[in-house]
Chain A
Amino acid sequence: MMYCPECAVGIRGEHEFCPLCASRLQDAQPEYPADVQPPAEIGYEGVAERVRRKPWLIGMVTLGVLFIPGAISFIVDLLINRAATWSPIVLGALGLLLLYISLPSMVFYLNTRPESRASRKARRKRRFWMLMLLNALATWGYLLYLDRVDSDGLLNWAPDFGSLATALTLVVVMAFFYTLQPPGAVRRGPLLFIWLSMYVVVLDLLISSMLLDGEFFGWSLIVAASLIPLGAVYWIIEYLVSHSDRVKRRLHI
């Protein structure tokens, strides 16, 4: 009879590896099993299909919850202004929120057709990026709408700062959203870039409004445009490298 060096049990029959822990078998019987208990299996293989079994439910519940503030704002707007003035902006924001919350469960719905692990992984990745694109387009559309509503404003959100903000926000939001990673888990270093750029922009805004008698973005946008992408890239690299296993688990890939 052969023996497992880890489990310290004898193995009946002809086996090369232990049926319990897959260690290579040996001739001599160990006195005790390994002191350290084996770790739990990492990953949710087989769980995903149950977790995502009712993709429409999340969407419907979110719709139900968001319907209440949406309806209230619309009615209040109608009662006060006798027309829909600011309520479409709120409704648009709520619609965007609905999209952020309900789309993932629908996109990541696991069908039961048999397929290899590699193709499943590829399909999930494809869906993930498609989802990000969809959300980016929706956010971009919303910003364009804001521009149209606020056509007299000094800031032209969608073509100027909006595109950068959209892209950055999406990357960050998506990363948090799909990995359910709390912000505290990411090191503070990359955040400094973004805080610094925001500080510079606010400073520029204050100076220009006080000295130049009107909001004016000049040099601060140039600084921000260089600092924010640097910080974001730093953040993403840090995030993906140090937490790659967690990201993989949450994406079920």
Chain B
Amino acid sequence: MSTQRGTWYPLDHSAKIWPAVLSARFTSLFRLSVVLDEPLVLEDLRTAASAARRRYPYFSVELHRGLFWYFLEEAGEDREAVKADRHWPCMDYPGLKKERRLLRLYVYGPRLSLEVSHVLTDGMGAMEYLRTLVYEYLRIRHGLAADEDDPLIPRLPGSGPEEGEWIDSYLDHGLKGAPAKTLPEKAFHLPFRLLNPGEYRVISGHLSLSSVQASARSMGVSVTEYLVSVLFLAFQDYWIALHRVNRRTPRRLSRPIRILVPVNLRGIFGSRTMRNFFVYVDPQIDPRLGAYGFDDIVKYVHHYMRGEKHRQNLRRHFARLARTERSMAVRMIPLLIKNLVLSLSYQRQGDSRFTTSFSNIGPFALPEPWMRHVRWADFYPPPSPIMKQAVSMISCGDILSVSFGKMIAETPVEKRFFRELRRRGHAVSVGTNHRSMIPRRDL
């Protein structure tokens, strides 16, 4: 593959599925938000956005439909890229379909939100973009200066794109004869009616990072493993309660609980790409075999995730397909048929195999003078009408934000999740974008 940057790019391996399944509910958009200490100044933000665009020109693209594949084409500067915030996040499907822009900035008071489609990049790529943008904005706004050796300085706007940032790393690390991953059985999903298309509720809880870290450390696990275990516990409790209340529970509600935990491959495979480059590990518990204690779950999740995260095993997730899709026979199939096949395969192999997802994007960090102006950050997962809710977390300073992105009105899992954290001694403050909550005592 050529490393020369052109004006158009093929979609990377994991992005190819998204245009085939895009819909008003399946928007593929996820959101990173940063709340500053004062309301944003639009002119400065636009200047910073222009600088970020020059630094990451491969992000200023539009999605186009070709004869055989979708592709991304570089577009001119979009002065309208900064918009007033919308009520429901991650739901700009008409904008995605008609204007084809895959990256948007939204402003609401001191909150700056970056909404990106998974067609373009993953959470880590978006995080890097946002760090550069906020860095540049605060530098312009407050005239800040940092030590050049500070490791927290992002990829600077003035430097221009570097080689290897826009390549498809899946392809580089794919192997032709690699064995495919076996398909797990379908997973338990919450039995609730979906909200109307266009509606996406978010419940985000803020915790103290140091408090959670201390608890995780005392059990000898990472923060992700600790919170995934609490999430398992919440789902298990609901699963058991559901079966206790309904003596004849349908079989599809008696399936194991499996959580999709994305793993960033950049560090493991030594890649600098800003496109998608992640796979997942999928720990599961099966309450049909009996209830698990919290210590059991923590131990299981810890060992499972450590065991899964080695190079060869992670390669198993993408190695075969990433090479296969480059073969001439696959390339020559018209897009219409490819879309059909991709859509069907997503229905069969995609979200139906997972109860929910838990994405930890890590810390949002900038040099110390910058962080004085940043209050907290939020990360909202992309909506999934099959899993019905997904979980994501991000930290900023000592504030750890855990967000539930929901396509249902009911709150059985997050209620148990945050109560369990509270029971374990972590102070939690909860916020939501849904205001007209009607009290329903039976939930």
The chain A residues found within 8 Å of chain B, CB to CB, are: 1, 4, 7-24, 32-34, 37-42, 44-47, 50-51, 180, 249
Asked if B328 is at the interface of the complex by the 8 Å CB criterion, the answer is no
The closest CB in chain A to the CB of B192 belongs to: A46
Q: Name the interface size band of chain B.
A: 35 or more
Given contacts A15-B437, A40-B238, A44-B191, contact A21 B415 (CB under 8 A): yes
Q: How far is the CA of A16 from the CA of B415 in the complex (A)?
A: 17
The closest CB in chain A to the CB of B427 belongs to: A10
Q: How far is the CA of A23 from the CA of B246 in the complex (A)?
A: 25
The closest CB in chain B to the CB of A4 belongs to: B430
What are the residues of chain B within 8 A of A21 when measuring CB–CB?
A: 411, 415, 443
What are the residues of chain B within 8 A of A40 when measuring CB–CB?
A: 238, 241-242, 244-246, 412
Q: What are 27 A-to-B residue pairs whose CB atoms are below 8 Å?
A: A1-B429, A4-B430, A7-B419, A9-B429, A10-B428, A10-B429, A11-B431, A12-B431, A13-B432, A18-B437, A19-B203, A21-B415, A33-B419, A33-B422, A38-B416, A39-B241, A40-B412, A41-B192, A41-B242, A41-B410, A41-B442, A42-B246, A44-B250, A45-B192, A47-B191, A47-B253, A180-B248
Is B430 a contact of A10 with CB atoms below 8 Å?
A: yes
Shortest Cβ distance from residue A35 to the other chain B in the assembled complex, whole angstroms: 9
Shortest Cβ distance from residue B54 to the other chain A in the assembled complex, whole angstroms: 36
Candidates B205, B242, B250; contact of A9 at CB < 8 Å: B205
The closest CB in chain A to the CB of B202 belongs to: A19
The closest CB in chain B to the CB of A20 belongs to: B415
What are the residues of chain B within 8 A of A8 when measuring CB–CB?
A: 419, 422
Q: How far is the CA of A47 from the CA of B206 in the complex (A)?
A: 32
Given contacts A10-B429, A40-B242, contact A19 B422 (CB under 8 A): no
Q: How far is the CA of A217 from the CA of B443 in the complex (A)?
A: 57
Is A42 a contact of B193 with CB atoms below 8 Å?
A: no
The closest CB in chain A to the CB of B415 belongs to: A20
Interface residues of B in 176-205 (CB under 8 A from A): 191-194, 203, 205
Is B252 a contact of A50 with CB atoms below 8 Å?
A: yes
Given contacts A46-B193, A46-B194, contact A41 B205 (CB under 8 A): no
What are the residues of chain A within 8 A of B237 when measuring CB–CB?
A: 37
Candidates A4, A41, A51; contact of B443 at CB < 8 Å: A41
Given contacts A22-B440, A46-B192, A50-B252, contact A39 B245 (CB under 8 A): yes
What are the residues of chain B within 8 A of A38 when measuring CB–CB?
A: 241, 412, 415-416, 443
Candidates A13, A22, A24, A32; contact of B438 at CB < 8 Å: A22
The closest CB in chain B to the CB of A45 belongs to: B193
Asked if B351 is at the interface of the complex by the 8 Å CB criterion, the answer is no
Shortest Cβ distance from residue A101 to the other chain B in the assembled complex, whole angstroms: 17
What are the residues of chain B within 8 A of A16 when measuring CB–CB?
A: 437
